[in-house]
Structure 1
Amino acid sequence: MKRLAALAAAAALVLVGCDGGGKPPSGDGRQQLTVAALPLTDSAALYLARDRGLFAKEGLDVRVQPVQQSIQALPALLKGQVDVIASANYVTYFQAYEKGTLDLRILAEGVRIAPHMMDVLVPGDSPLKSPADLAGKKVAVAVLNNIQSLTLNAILDARGAGRPVYRQILFPQMGPALDRGQVDAVHAVEPFETAIQGESGARVLLDAGSGPARGLPASGYITTRDFVDKHPKAAAGFRRAVEAASRLAAGDPGAVRTELPKYAKVSAAQAESIHLPAYPATADPAALRRLIRLMRAQGLLEKDVDPAPLLAK
């Protein structure tokens, strides 16, 4: 489990030593921003924008704080200790917006779901042979009632299959939990999925990026209305840099595969085989409405949310 241990170490860093949002300029005059991010393929545009000088071009000095779950960074965002959350699971943040916990603004889109960017994995010798076998079985997800269960339920419903019972287990611990028989299957995303298959001998039971899940917006770059109002130039510059990096990622997957080992603790060889998500250049209210309709259908939102006013200009 050496590779999974490395992934866990990367994800286990917590938000410490952060200053308030809208930090003063750094020594070279660039405005400092702190961005919380998961070590997932979702965050590739963030790191490409940083390492290719796209943030610097916009006058920004972006510092990245790794976290295990994007929701862990929400209190820090509300306190102004981080300015943006990357790899932010839309389901969580639309729920927070509906409850009034977060005055949400979406700076840029992160990724949309593509085939095999996340899969349901089972042990190599598992008796589970088809998605229908998941009914009533224990399946690990990183966060309960979130994008993983939302999309898997939609896939299984479309097939007329029964739903599983979900257990919350962080991505770095999914492989060991599967090995110990604590769960029957894990719903893993890249790059953890590739690591689990390589080290645990797990096999794919279901492409969790297929059917009704395919093309759904999964994550974005989230901030608050207060930050956008107080720092409109920084917010706009951040969006332009991420969108430029997303176009790069979409047009040159090799750039993503080169970047991944720098922040996700996967080897260059593993990065070559990872299934990448789709990197949209701009956020699309129509695509977000599709996600919101699915959330409403499964009871994850009580009322419709119009995403258009939430997109920062």
Structure 2
Amino acid sequence: MSIKKILGAAAAIAMIAGSATVAIAEDLREITFAQPSASAINSFPVFIAIGEGYFAEEGLDVQVETVNGSGAVLQALAAGQADFGRPGPGPLLTARSRGVDAVFIYNTAARANFGLMVQEDSDFQTPEDLAGQVIGTGTADGAEVGFARNVMSGSGLEAGEDYTMMTVGDGGPATAAFLRGEISAYSASVADAAVLVQRGVALRDVTPAEFARFFGNGIVTMNETIQSDPELVEKFLRGVHRGMIFAMDEANREASLDHFAAGFPQEIEDRDFASALFTAVRSKSIPVDPASSMGYIPPAVWSEWQDSLIANGDLAAPLDDLDAAYTNAFVDKISAEFE
């Protein structure tokens, strides 16, 4: 479904929700969704689907667990501690190289949701200018690490040789690292950057425009779940997809913010800031190709992600079967329901 049809699909959602044939089971199946940071806005379609009752209509009771970074999300999935998660494509591919049979099934950040940020008044204008400098990241193995390495290697600079990476955390710790001069740049998500700006650190993005195609975090599950319980995967993703459609309708902004507040009240204490952050995060979910449906995973960019990981030394060699790392089968089926 193209982005032009999203608002039209809202009518289909209303019909489904209001149909007498839709019955919410008294005994819902409890499942766990693991997210890499403590934010309802970053996982907005999930929290909207919870708040609007979309998951309940599918017979699901979705519990959200927050862990530290994409690596931890994948560990939770592999250990059976979570049914679905939202890691980045880079960490997923490196996990698969270690035998973790996790599969990318829905693209919630169709455009790059990271940027290489410097302080606004710094002399750094391009990634090349950061030669010999320290680049901060929120986690040691999150999606922002692979993104930063990708951007830097595109400028001919290699980690450990031409620049240094340092895990500094997010929010207050990242702000302090900038102000103390410990880092010259920060690989930040839209949310991370917004928090730093709110804390008084004016930022400027030096990421080259061509890196916008490197999509960000998305919904992932284990291949075992896909094979043994495809109906569960379809139900969960239908809820996510309906949450995405709901979010794209500007008339639903206040209701969306209320759902985020129910999940993480502290994130919505400054409602104006939260609303602006939601706008920024939501914009990253719109496919680069207007003909693509919400959630679509572009195979060509998937290959580029692998190439960049190999170039940066995060993967020793191409995966034996890159196509097994993702599937658009569920996206195609579910999006067709809302044409």
The answer to whether TM tops 0.5 is yes
Q: How does 1:151-190 map to 2 (within 5 A)?
A: 151-156=147-152, 158=154, 164-172=163-171, 173-190=173-190
Q: Separation in 2 of the partners of 1:215 and 1:197?
A: 25
Corresponding residue for residue 297 of structure 2: 284
Q: Separation in 2 of the partners of 1:58 and 1:188?
A: 35
The answer to whether the 8 A contact 2:146-2:309 is kept is: yes
SS state at 2:318 partner: coil
CA gap 1:96/1:202 in 2 versus in 1, 3 angstroms: same
Tell me which amino acid in the other structure corresponds to 1:296. I
Match for residue 104 of structure 2 among 103, 106, 109:
106
Q: Separation in 2 of the partners of 1:53 and 1:168?
A: 38
TM-score by length of 2: 0.72
Q: How does 1:53-132 map to 2 (within 5 A)?
A: 53-86=53-86, 88-100=87-99, 102-114=100-112, 117-123=113-119, 126-132=122-128
SS state at 1:112 partner: coil
Match for residue 307 of structure 2 among 283, 293, 306:
293
The answer to whether the 8 A contact 1:113-1:214 is kept is: yes
1:34, CA displacement in angstroms?
A: 0.8
% identical equivalent positions: 20
1:133 aligns with 2:133: no
1:250, CA displacement in angstroms?
A: 4.0
SS state at 1:140 partner: strand
Corresponding residue for residue 6 of structure 1: none
1:303 aligns with 2:318: yes
CA gap 1:74/1:159 in 2 versus in 1, 3 angstroms: closer
Corresponding residue for residue 144 of structure 2: 148
Corresponding residue for residue 238 of structure 2: 240
Aligned residue pairs total: 282
SS state at 2:322 partner: coil
- Which residues of structure 1 form unaligned runs of 5+? 1-25
CA gap 1:46/1:253 in 2 versus in 1, 3 angstroms: farther
SS state at 1:29 partner: coil
Q: Deviations over 1:125-156 (max 9, x none)?
A: 54545543211111101245664344344445
Q: Separation in 1 of the partners of 2:94 and 2:157?
A: 27
Task: Tell me which moved more, 289-298 or 189-198.
Answer: 289-298
Higher helix share: 2
1:60, CA displacement in angstroms?
A: 0.7
Q: Separation in 2 of the partners of 1:253 and 1:67?
A: 32
The answer to whether the 8 A contact 1:250-1:278 is kept is: no
Q: Separation in 1 of the partners of 2:205 and 2:73?
A: 32
Q: How does 1:9-28 map to 2 (within 5 A)?
A: 28=26
The answer to whether the 8 A contact 1:120-1:187 is kept is: yes
1:103, CA displacement in angstroms?
A: 1.1
Q: Separation in 1 of the partners of 2:90 and 2:156?
A: 24
- Which residues of structure 2 form unaligned runs of 5+? 1-23, 288-293, 331-339
Q: Separation in 1 of the partners of 2:302 and 2:126?
A: 30
The answer to whether the 8 A contact 2:50-2:62 is kept is: yes
Tell me which amino acid in the other structure corresponds to 1:68. N
The answer to whether the 8 A contact 1:246-1:279 is kept is: no
SS state at 1:218 partner: coil
Q: Separation in 2 of the partners of 1:73 and 1:154?
A: 21
The answer to whether the 8 A contact 1:179-1:200 is kept is: no
Task: Tell me which moved more, 122-131 or 30-39.
Answer: 122-131
The answer to whether the 8 A contact 1:68-1:170 is kept is: no
Match for residue 218 of structure 1 among 187, 211, 216:
216
The answer to whether the 8 A contact 2:77-2:84 is kept is: yes
1:33, CA displacement in angstroms?
A: 0.5
Q: Separation in 1 of the partners of 2:307 and 2:202?
A: 33
Tell me which amino acid in the other structure corresponds to 2:186. V
Tell me which amino acid in the other structure corresponds to 1:278. S
SS state at 2:26 partner: coil
CA gap 1:107/1:149 in 2 versus in 1, 3 angstroms: closer
Q: Which has the larger radius of gyration?
A: 2
RMSD: 3.0
CA gap 1:65/1:202 in 2 versus in 1, 3 angstroms: same
Q: Separation in 2 of the partners of 1:151 and 1:203?
A: 18
CA gap 1:252/1:216 in 2 versus in 1, 3 angstroms: farther
Q: Separation in 2 of the partners of 1:253 and 1:284?
A: 27
CA gap 1:279/1:59 in 2 versus in 1, 3 angstroms: farther
SS state at 2:90 partner: helix
1:174, CA displacement in angstroms?
A: 1.1
